[in-house]
Amino acid sequence: MSSTVANGTSRAGIDAAAASLMVLLTLSWGLNYVAAKVSYAGYDPVFLSVLRAVIGGFFVLLWCWWRGIRLFSRDGTLAAGALVGALFGLEFLCLYIGLELTTVARNTLMVNSMPFWMLLGGHFLLGEPISTRKCLGLVLAFAGLILVFSDKLGMEKEGMLLGDLLSLAAGILWAGTNIVIKRSNLTEVPPEKLLLYQLAGSAVVGVLVMPFAGPAVRELALMPTLALLFQAIYVVAFTYVLWFWLLGRYPASGLSSFAFLTPVFGVLCGGLLLGEPLSPRVFAALALIAIGLIIVNRPSKRHLLPDA
């Protein structure tokens, strides 16, 4: 999703406090992939996406109530919000189901290819030409994706290729969601309302798909439940609100330069915390995608929010 936040106290640059918070946020978003993987021991991915959206949405609503943020005024965004919600719901189905079939590292790299699909979509659908510098970033990113698909380490697990493809589809759907937002009046609504549109869509799409999924609860256990609460309460309801706060006070273009850290932390956390195999090709792919993100985002004047 994307958003701009207006605030009269915006700083001219990124100071040490903002940089520290961005490292914390990107680490949290990288850990989010690990938490999802851990939670699969107790919950079906589809049911998990519903729970995450409902619990996280509840706490975002509490935040909006506390801050007096108006959510239900007629502003003409319902149709666009419903479309964005549906796309977001499909995105998270692809992300969560794909993550169960593949590794955290591969899923993280595929999903975080979003800015490059956004770059292509913006060129053809938003009238935003790709500069020579951004074209270089795009080429590096696709080279990284090719390396991921060519890496056979860890591909012995049945369904791994399908998981990779679903993860890639999640990145493409994420870009599609951002394009719809930029082409609609959703750019004018409070970011919390935009987030709630997406969480509501995720819950509805998940509920519609649940009859075709496996058992909702696989095993009631402490660690999967804690991993679920980490995703819903900490990632959705805390880190995104903190992100909105940062966007209101610091230049989005400066904050965007930290985007490459999310796939870095995702890959490293998958290897360190879950013992997933990390081959030289995965690290080479990570380097290419991270460099591509730096090239694409550094000159940007607007920034896309991380995946909710």
pLDDT class of 14 with cuts at 50, 70, 90 = confident
- Of 44, 45, 303, residue with least CA distance to 178: 303
Q: Between 125 and 8, whose confidence is greater? A: 125
Mean pLDDT score of the chain, rounded to an integer?
89
To which residue do tokens 């965004």 refer?
77
Q: What is the pTM of this model?
A: 0.90
Look up residue 245 and give its two tokens: 């706060």
Cα 200 from chain centroid?
16
| R_g over Cα of the chain | 18
Tell me the HSE value of 112 on the side-chain side, using a 13 A CA sphere.
Answer: 35
Average pLDDT over residues 16-39: 95
Backbone φ and ψ for 77, nearest 5 degrees, come out as: -105, 0
pLDDT at residue 301 in the model: 44
List, for residues 133-191, the tens digit of each pLDDT value.
Answer: 999 999 999 999 999 988 865 566 778 999 999 999 999 999 999 999 999 999 889 99
Average pLDDT over residues 18-37: 96
pLDDT at residue 297 in the model: 82
Q: Which residues of 113-135 are buried (b: 16+ CB within 10 A; e: fewer)?
A: bbbbbbbebbeeeeeeebeeebe
Inter-axis angle of helices 45-67 and 240-247, to 10 degrees? 50
Amino acid at 89: G
